[in-house]
Amino acid sequence: MAPRRSTRSIVALFVLAAIGVVAARVVLGSADPPAVALTGPIAATGEISREESAFASTAAAAPTRQTRSRWSLADPTTAMIPNGDSVVAAGGMQRSIALTFDDGPSDYTRPVLDALARYNVHATFFVIGKNARAYPATLHAVADAGHELANHTWSHTVLLQLPPGARRDEMLTTSDAIDGQGLGPATLVRPPYGTTDAATNQLARSLGLVPVVWSIDTRDWTGLTAEKIAANVLAGVKPGSIVLLHDGGGDRSATVAALDLIIPALKKRHYRFATVSALLNASPPSSDQLAIGR
């Protein structure tokens, strides 16, 4: 009979321990990180995309997602960029360039990701906030593939046409859309059309965002063929170039096809590919690679 009493005592101790754990969680609260409340235009719109709805139901059953962004400007690099300026290119001390994609996520983002994966190339995606909300699974796919997510404002409106408070909301709410998915913080912003001024750039910096424009405009947004898009890159590329491409805002099939021309050709010229933050950290911009905008 003694062994039986010992077993009962052990079971009782386990029960008391379990009750204690439950009580502690009630008092101290859950260990899961709190959800990020989205504000501004995100909270104001009631539109829900098909992907957003499907992603929400999947994410609800999934473990808490951790921040996946591994790209950010180093403090010394940030300190070298005047508050009123935008970055046009990197210093060019290394034979590297940055491919950047604007206006997504969209239905063309995943084909772009597939093309980049074929060549093991990382890029930077300047996302529009409302599209980031409409395509959350695609946004995660970009981050999961090791690319940099950056801010391209909420609605792609020319910032200089807005009062300062609205400019702030356009940038801040897009950062919230990225951070709210556990994929931030974004540390770069690209003003739509490259249109900005010193005050807007200073505002961006106050939000923790460094304005970045580009040194090569592929003009893929004008409906060029893949061959012409590629030619525009190859004609102007040099170490430190920041290349403007698009994965949203229209039919981007030519852009997707152009990547199979651009990347192999540049690799033959011994170029390497980096995210914008990695490019700038390795080779900070000189004074002639800074400007107000484009």
The answer on 259 and 117 residing in a single domain is yes
The answer to whether position 26 is within a domain reads: yes
| Number of domains, the chain | 2
The answer to whether position 136 is within a domain reads: yes
The answer on 93 and 19 residing in a single domain is no
Task: Catalytic residue, from 102, 103, 220, 247: name it.
Answer: 102
Task: Catalytic residue, from 147, 176, 246, 247: name it.
Answer: 246
Chain centroid to CA 161: 25
Helix, strand, coil % in the chain, rounded to nearest 5? 50, 10, 40
With contact defined as beta carbons under 8 Å apart, do 232 and 243 qualify?
no
The answer to whether position 36 is within a domain reads: no
pLDDT value at position 237? Answer: 98
Tokens of 258: 């152009």
Query: What is the pLDDT tens value at each position of the chain, 294 positions in all?
Result: 334 444 444 434 443 444 443 333 333 333 323 322 333 343 344 445 666 655 554 444 443 334 445 678 999 999 999 999 999 999 998 999 999 999 999 999 999 999 999 999 999 999 999 999 999 999 999 999 999 999 999 999 999 999 999 999 999 999 999 999 999 899 999 999 999 999 999 999 999 999 999 999 999 999 999 999 999 999 999 999 999 999 999 999 999 999 999 999 999 999 999 999 999 999 999 999 999 988
The answer on 8 and 146 residing in a single domain is no
176 included as an active-site residue: no
Q: Which residues contact 128 (CB under 8 A, 6 or more apart)?
A: 103, 104, 152, 153, 154, 155, 156, 174, 248
The answer on 126 and 10 residing in a single domain is no
pLDDT value at position 294? Answer: 85
pLDDT value at position 6? Answer: 44
Tell me the CATH number at 242: 3.20.20.370
270 included as an active-site residue: no
The answer on 137 and 18 residing in a single domain is no
How big is the chain, counted in residues? Answer: 294
The answer on 87 and 16 residing in a single domain is no
Amino acid occupying residue 138: T
The answer on 81 and 220 residing in a single domain is yes
List the domain range (segments joined by +) for residue 8: 1-31
Coil/strand/helix, residue 245? strand
